[in-house]
Chains A and B, each alone.
Chain A
Amino acid sequence: MRSRRALAAGVSTLCVSLVFACAALALRKTGGISEGSARAVLSFLGVLPLIVATAGFSRRLDAQPGRAGAIALDRFHGLADRLSSALSFAREAAPTAFMAAAIDDAIDRVPSVDPKRAVPIHAPPHLVAACVLVCAFAAIDLFEVRHHTPAAHVQTIDAVDVTADDLDAMREFLDQMKSRDQTDEAKAATREFNQLIEDLAARRLDRTEAFRRMQQLEDKLLLGREADAKALEDAMKKIGDEMKAAELTKPAGEALASKNLAAAEKQLQELAKKLREQEGKQVDKAQLEKMRDALKRASGSQSKRQEQLAQRREELRQQLLAQRNKRSDGGADDEERSLLQKRERELERLDRETEQSEATGRQLDRLDRELAKAAEDLMKDLGLSAQDLEKSAEDINRMKQQEMTQEEKEQLRQKLEELREMMRQQGQGGQGQMARLRRFQMQARGKGGGSRGEQEGGQDGQEGQQAGQGQQGQGQQGQGQQGEGQGSQGSQRSHSAGGNGGETWVLGPNGQRMLMLSQGRGGGGEGAGGPPAGGKGWGTAHDGHVEGKATGGLSSNQDTQVAGQDTGQGGSRSEVIEGAAERGFASRGYQKVFREYQTVAEEALAKDEIPGGYRFYVRRYFELIRPRDEHEAAPSANEGSPPAARP
């Protein structure tokens, strides 16, 4: 009976355990719980039925010990509690005769009882459920949950977005730089700048990398600039002013004073030549004396200026020290403190000037020495002096070359600065600003696309729409290119008429419409609505083949290209600008107007009439409205998508 109970309890518990085990296994398969937790739970659930079965076997039966079996036998064999009663009577201390008789009666019945039949070990009631659950557990165990391991994510960068038009502008600038006679240093800087632009065009740079590259390039551009160019020019001007005092060095001095280093070099070489020619001849000593003084002063002007700066700086420093000591004693009032601060600022300014002067002095040191030597040799040996002047001319030439390099580098740096500022502002403006910018640039190229639906390329399936707009814009571009001449409507009209001759309305100078006669293309078509052959008037009907026959071979036709002539008598500025706004910035008239305005703007920028913070916007504005060349206005298939890198 205990075995039966243990088996039943164990199987029942097994069912419960299997339910939880299935749940735990499913959770493990789906990643709900960890491997360790699943193992712990399954182990516990595996042991639990054994524990329960053991407990069921160990625990005493519900009836009194030893009586449960007797009761079961009594029930099965219909013994009317003979056995159980006998067992009860047997425990009596003093059994009566009836009890003894009852015990004897039970003993007599014992041989006939069959405990196996009375307490059979049937299949536990939940055995089927347990088997089903075991199958379910096995099925879950065999079921392999597919883990969708995402493919290794391709490292893509959030490439910085620069419009193709801006990149074209940069390329144009770099092409101009390349076309100049550059030094190796400038060439290297230009090449690096070009590489940066191409990387941006190929969308190989993210924002951080792009700014890092720009900073790196700017550092290189600033590296060779030892002295402030303006300070150098000032120093050269002073040298020139000193040299202007003598008749012989006056041309060279004037050239230096006007910052024309090439002329100064040339004048010095001529002076050296003149001195060599006069060697051995009678020369005007007074002029030579003046020239010597002038060269001396010229050579010493820079050192004198440095000495003055150093002296002034030293005085100021001493005063500052004294005031600081006084202030530390506690005797300084507000006025003295203000004065102290003022002097501190002046000292800082002097420090900067001294540094500039020293840097300028290092560049002018060789020229100073050559001029000083020429002055000394002038009274002794004109040939030597001429040689010194030639060396001075070489120095000036070297400085001129350096200045040219610096100028180019400065232009590159400025362009780099513009690029950086443009990227910064476009980054702040977001996608909306970029979309508007692209729309504007497409309009500027004469490709229309004023539609609102135009968005950035690659955005959610709008590329097709964008392409369609591009085609439409191309037609308008044709109008823009021939803005002063050809009119497409007339052309279309003549083509639709299918006439034999080409009658084309074109816009002539000053916007006048002109009818141009040319040999048409559609020779094979019947004129729809045209006058009947031989008739005197217009017909009242039309041929049944309204569309006319298909165009025949072109062998009998001849293509004629008609272009307007630039007579220099285009429309007014306002008309040109309005036309450019409608059809793009590619017309010749617009180029002319643009140059005029840009020149004024450049002059204003050069004269510092524009505040520093607005210079970028002025330059950016003119860059955006710059005239587009014809090749530039050609449809760009990769607008809005990463353009192919240039080789």
Chain B
Amino acid sequence: MSELDAGAVREQVGEFKRSIDTLRAEIAKAIVGHGDVVDGVLTCMLAAGHALLEGVPGLGKTMLVRTLGETLSLSFSRVQFTPDLMPADILGTTVIDEGAGGAKSFEFRPGPIFANIVLADEINRATPKTQSALLEAMQEHRVSVGRQTHVLEEPFVVLATQNPLEMEGTYPLPEAQLDRFFFKLHVPFPNREDLHAILDRTTGGAFEQPGPVLDRARILAMQRLVRQVPAARHVQDYAIRVIQATHPDGPDAPELARRFVRFGASPRGAQAVLMASKIRALFDGRFAASIDDVRASAFPALRHRVLLNFEGEAEGVKTDQVIDAILKSIVETKPDAKSEKKGQAIGMA
């Protein structure tokens, strides 16, 4: 370790924070409030993950995603999911193309998935077949059409929305599909002040349009920086214990989890929690993730990964209640002899 390296890191983290603040400020031009949702979307983008936004209509979900696309110098596409939407409508299709010499050839016409930011609006209205078309793209960042595989350009972020009220004629996302989402963000109803601001902006004459503030290269650099952020062993251990506690037979599972949870979070959930914690540390200008970061990240990262059993569904238990009970039951400072021996910290380079 050299003094120079630490200084460079300081510089990079400072730059990161400034970029994020600039981005936030730019988004705030169009989006009133919803700071946590904005941070969650940004976190997903920086973690190269995807976000599922859930909220009643009219809360600005689509607006948020569209604004994000406008603030970033990235390609943006929107797919309105409907029951008759076909996978090819998303992925693209191969068409016969007649060349200048009259020669005909098959040519792949990419679908809307081929964009840096994809808005999957009301994703639960599409059939499972169409929903499944997103699986490979979301996980592998590539699309296989016929015998050809098309790699998606980085960064690739799918931002899906769904309406929790209109369940008629919808197809709930399967667990495998849900697990692909880095975060599930609840878009809350704005408070009184935010509503005043919304009305002022949208019903008045002057409306400041957000502009691009970050380019693709900068975003990729930020994604790389995020993975260099370390997490102390006890912080990582805390995240692991939280994940274990989501399982009904876990060692630290609270009574609520033991009674109402059918399946707990997967290791992908642990990855999401820790990665989000690191990003949150950088948002705050810190050099390492903390337990508080883990706590804050646990809700959006785990709420769609914890599946309730029939009794839990019948009792109307929310997954956020289970996660909250878990976070309250997990002791922060549990001795970890193993970690003492290893003295290892996580640093995802």
Residue positions of A touching B, CB distance < 8 A: 62-65, 67-68, 71, 74, 80-82, 84-86, 88-89, 91-102, 104-105
Check A64/B347 contact, CB under 8 A, given A80-B290, A82-B288.
no
Contact with A along B296-315 (1 / 0, CB 8 A): 00000000000000000000
Q: List, sorted by A's number, 10 A–B pairs whose CB atoms are closer than 8 Å.
A: A65-B340, A80-B290, A81-B291, A82-B286, A84-B232, A88-B345, A97-B6, A98-B287, A102-B288, A105-B287
Residues of chain B within 8 A (CB-CB) of A68 are 333
Q: Are A97 and B9 touching (Cβ within 8 A)?
A: yes
Q: How far is the CA of A84 from the CA of B289 in the complex (A)?
A: 11
In whole angstroms, how far apart are the Cα atoms of A95 and B339 in the complex? 16
Residue of B nearest to A93 (CB): B343
Contacts of A101 in B (CB 8 A): 6, 9-10, 13, 287
Indicate if B8 sits at the interface (CB-CB under 8 A): yes
Give the top 4 A-B pairs by smallest Cβ distance, nearest first.
A81-B290, A97-B5, A85-B232, A102-B287
Residues of B within 8 A of A67 (CB): 234, 333
Complex Cα spacing A65 to B335, Å: 9
Q: When the two chains form their complex, are residues B343 and A100 in contact, meaning their CB atoms are under 8 A apart?
A: no
- Given A85-B290, A102-B288: A64 touches B234 (CB 8 Å cut-off): yes
B348 nearest CB across to chain A (Å): 10
How many B residues touch A, CB cutoff 8 Å? 37
* Contact in complex: B232, A88 (CB < 8 Å): yes
Q: Is A88 touching B6 in the complex (CB atoms < 8 A)?
A: no
> Across the interface, do B235 and A98 meet the contact criterion of CB distance under 8 Å?
no
Cα distance, A97 to B332, chains bound together (Å): 26
Q: Which of A62, A86, A105 has the most CB of B within 10 A?
A: A105
- Does B293 lie at the interface of the complex (its beta carbon under 8 Å from any beta carbon of A)? yes
Contact A64 B9 (CB under 8 A): no
Taking CB atoms and an 8 Å cut-off, the chain B residues in 323-344 that contact chain A are 332-336, 339-340, 343-344
Query: Looking across the interface, which residue of chain B has its beta carbon closest to that of A65?
Result: B340
Measured CB to CB, the nearest residue on chain A to B13 is A101
CB neighbours (8 Å) of B6 from chain A are: 97, 100-101, 104
A64, A65, A67, A86 — which one has the most chain B CB atoms within 10 A of its CB? A64
The answer to whether A89 touches B288 (Cβ under 8 A) is: yes
- In the complex, which residues 268-308 of chain B have their Cβ closer than 8 Å to any Cβ of chain A? 281, 284, 286-293
- How close is A507's CB to chain B, nearest CB, in angstroms? 109
Closest to A96 in B: B347
Contact between A98 and B9, CB atoms less than 8 A apart: yes
Contact of B228 among A62, A71, A86, A98 (CB under 8 A): A98
The answer to whether B333 touches A99 (Cβ under 8 A) is: no
Closest to B293 in A: A80
Q: Is B40 at the interface (CB under 8 A from chain A)?
A: no
**Distance between B307 CB and nearest chain A CB, rounded to angstroms:** 31
Is B150 positioned at the interface, with any CB of A under 8 Å from its CB?
Answer: no
Tell me if B349 counts as interface (CB < 8 A to partner A): yes
**A467 vs chain B, min Cβ distance (A):** 85
CB pair B288–A62 under 8 Å, yes or no, is no
The answer to whether A62 and B232 touch across the interface, beta carbons within 8 angstroms, is no
Residues in chain A near residue B230, CB distance under 8 A: 85, 89, 96, 98-99, 102
Q: A98-B228, A100-B1 given as contacts; is B335 within 8 A of A85 (CB)? A: no
With A and B bound together, what is the CA distance between A326 and B347 in angstroms? 130
Residues of chain B within 8 A (CB-CB) of A99 are: 1, 230, 287-288, 345, 347
Measured CB to CB, the closest approach of chain A to B237, in angstroms, equals 10
Quick one: which of B231, B333, B340 contacts A71, CB cutoff 8 A? B333
CB contact between A95 and one of B1, B284, B291, B340 (< 8 Å): that residue: B1
Please state if B343 and A98 are interface contacts (CB–CB under 8 Å).
no
Q: Report if B233 contacts A (CB, 8 A).
A: yes
Name the B residues within 8 Å of A104 (CB-CB): 6, 10
Asked if B229 is at the interface of the complex by the 8 Å CB criterion, the answer is yes
The answer to whether A97 and B333 touch across the interface, beta carbons within 8 angstroms, is no
List of B residues within 8 angstroms of A84 by Cβ: 232, 234
Known contacts A62-B335, A81-B288, A85-B289; 9 further A-B pairs (Cβ under 8 A): A80-B284, A84-B232, A88-B234, A96-B230, A96-B347, A97-B6, A98-B287, A99-B1, A104-B10
Question: Which of B9, B292, B343 is close to A92, meaning CB atoms less than 8 Å apart?
Answer: B343
- State in angstroms the CA–CA spacing of A81 and B286 once bound together: 10
CA A311 – CA B286 in complex, angstroms?
146
Partner of A98, one of B288, B332, B344: B288
Query: What is the CB-to-nearest-CB distance from B232 to chain A, in angstroms, rounded to a whole number?
Result: 4
**CB <8 Å contact, B233 and A88:** yes
Known A64-B339, A92-B344, A97-B5; contact A71-B290, beta-carbon cutoff 8 A: no
Q: Name the CB-closest residue of A to B3.
A: A100
B5 CB contact (under 8 Å) in A65, A80, A88, A100 = A100
> Does the CB pair B290–A98 fall under 8 Å?
no
Chain B 206-230, CB-CB to A under 8 Å as 1, else 0, gives: 0000000000000000000000111
Interfacial chain A residues near B9, Cβ < 8 Å: 97-98, 100-101
- B340 near A80 with CB under 8 A, answer no
Q: Please, how many angstroms separate the alpha-carbon atoms of A95 and B346 in the complex?
A: 11
Pick from A64, A80, A86, A88: contact of B335, CB under 8 Å: A64
* Docked-complex contact A64 and B336, CB < 8 angstroms: yes
CA gap between A152 and B1 in the complex, in Å: 95
- Contact of B8 with A97 in the complex, beta carbons under 8 Å: yes
Q: How far is the CB of B276 from chain A (nearest CB, A)?
A: 15
* Closest chain B residue to A64, Cβ basis: B340
Residues 232 to 264 of chain B near chain A (Cβ within 8 Å) = 232-235
In the complex with contacts A95-B1, A101-B10, A81-B347 CB distance below 8 A: no
Residue of B nearest to A80 (CB): B290
B339 CB contacts on chain A under 8 angstroms = 64
Q: List the B residue with the shortest CB-CB distance to A72.
A: B333
Provide the residues of chain B in CB contact with A96, threshold 8 Å: 1, 228, 230, 347, 349
Chain B, residue nearest A104 (CB): B6
Docked pose: A93 CA to B341 CA in angstroms: 12
Partner of B234, one of A63, A65, A92: A63
Residue of B nearest to A75 (CB): B332
Q: Once bound together, how far apart are the Cα atoms of A97 and B231, in whole Å?
A: 13
Least Cβ–Cβ distance between A490 and chain B, in angstroms: 107
Q: Which chain B residues border A89 with CB–CB below 8 Å?
A: 230, 232, 288, 345
When chains A and B are docked, how far (Å) is the Cα of A86 from the Cα of B287?
Answer: 10
- Assembled-state Cα–Cα distance A85/B335 (Å): 15
Q: Residue on A with the closest CB to B233? A: A88
For B287, list chain A residues within 8 Å (CB).
98-99, 101-102, 105
